[in-house]
Structure 1
């Protein structure tokens, strides 16, 4: 049985030395937040499978590990776009927040993207935006999610997906940071089921599902962080669910993996098939 990633995820999220808890008093002062989700230029997807793990030497035959990683990287790029990753994290966080101020007064994300001219074209590097451009929209705070590194890696012949980044919230008046949460999710470190890179090469959807599941778990923790229980000294808020809501971005992480296509001769440039068990 596959072990859940959630215990390791929570450990990684809460152990970050740069974390800052959101206080209810700070959230009470926010009137109109704007949400931004982005992926740093050069963050990925990356394949660190073959060059960092010699266990695949026999299966690669004459193919150099660096070249095998390059080919797998191409497959990972086909699995999910940078835009889909950033949007999934933003949407699944925002839609699970309580229907109360300030979240119900958040700036329309389409207007935010329009003024920043961001994330609308895949080829444009998602560098840090000019946050001052959001002020005319009435925003007084920014909630930002940043993916810094993602892809696949392997150790001891066991491969998996990984995802690293942070979330933060800061006011536009003085740029005071009131919340920060780094995250690092790693299937290999968590001891999760082996994500066979050769199968991913044939069926990139397997990588998409792994990353989608990670993003949903990160979003669930972000929701808890952004719902402090000490607002205005009122009654305690109800406990939040520990799992993400149904997918709101194409590509469900909760669906069973699709069957791999029938075995056939692959065109030049594909990863070699794994040796029979």
Structure 2
């Protein structure tokens, strides 16, 4: 079984996207939360590999970098649907929460999707829904996950997956936020194992494996933050500052198939 060693830096953004920790007293005032996960319209997946990194120029031969990125992007799109990406983040966060209030009183996600008219198989709503509709089901708050950008990028011949977005929790009445956590995970910046774009072009599941592992790391971090320290007896206080780092995290991953490298310039048409 192969292993992916994640430095998994969940980097916080600044300015308008500043983080806000969840306090136990705020959570005590929540009685009926609803969980929503969505991907913004132009979020991806994007391929920023060949146009932004000239290291592949010789391998591309006569293939234009823009066209190579278009073909790779089509492969990334086929590897995992937007619906799967957003749902994995929501489901894996929720399943790690303790069986206690308010989480045991969370609205049925199927009812939430139905009333928001987002019960789709392959897609998720790009624009923020009308959350006031959830009050008809008795919801008083929303836990929302939003992916703003994801795909593949490369620097100096080393490629990898990346993803950024934010999570927040807010009261429906007045939209007062009680928790916010922007995140950015970038395997290239972390120094992760090279994800060969030519191999991904032949076997898109390699991108799927890396992206889903990243989603699981972020989901675990969200689940931790949705359990405030004062709701966890004996837990140490959160670290000072706005940055959250999870280092040395080991994630299991299926072994990569021993596929031969594609010939130079060979990136299959979608």
What TM-score do you get using the length of structure 1 for normalisation? 0.84
SS at match of 2:145: strand
- 1:230 Cα shift? 1.6
SS at match of 1:52: coil
Which residue is equivalent to 1:182?
A: 182
The RMSD of aligned alpha carbons is 2.6
- 1:255 Cα shift? 3.5
Tell me if 1:169 matches 2:154: no
- 1:236 Cα shift? 3.3
Which residue is equivalent to 2:154?
A: 154
Which residue is equivalent to 1:236?
A: 234
SS at match of 2:183: strand
* Alpha carbons of structure 1 residues 104 and 6: separation in structure 2 relative to 1, 3 Å: farther
Higher strand share: 2
Aligned counterparts of 2:208 and 2:33: Cα–Cα separation in 1: 30
Which residue is equivalent to 2:9?
A: 8
- 1:127 Cα shift? 1.2
Q: Show CA shifts across 1:164-196 (max 9, x none).
A: 000000001211000000000001000011000
- 1:92 Cα shift? 0.3
- 1:262 Cα shift? 6.8
Tell me if 1:270 matches 2:268: yes
Runs of at least 5 residues in structure 1 that lack an aligned partner in the other structure: 244-252, 272-277
SS at match of 1:36: strand
Runs of at least 5 residues in structure 2 that lack an aligned partner in the other structure: 238-245
Which residue is equivalent to 2:257?
A: 259
The answer to whether the 8 Å contact 1:205/1:257 transfers is no
> Segments of 4+ in structure 1 off by > 4 A?
260-265
Which residue is equivalent to 1:141?
A: 141
Which residue is equivalent to 2:111?
A: 111
Q: Show CA shifts across 1:88-109 (max 9, x none).
A: 0000000000110000000000
Aligned counterparts of 2:82 and 2:132: Cα–Cα separation in 1: 24
* Alpha carbons of structure 1 residues 105 and 237: separation in structure 2 relative to 1, 3 Å: farther
What TM-score do you get using the length of structure 2 for normalisation? 0.86
SS at match of 1:4: strand
Aligned counterparts of 2:20 and 2:123: Cα–Cα separation in 1: 33
The answer to whether the 8 Å contact 2:35/2:107 transfers is yes
Count of residues in correspondence between the two structures? 253
* Alpha carbons of structure 1 residues 35 and 123: separation in structure 2 relative to 1, 3 Å: closer
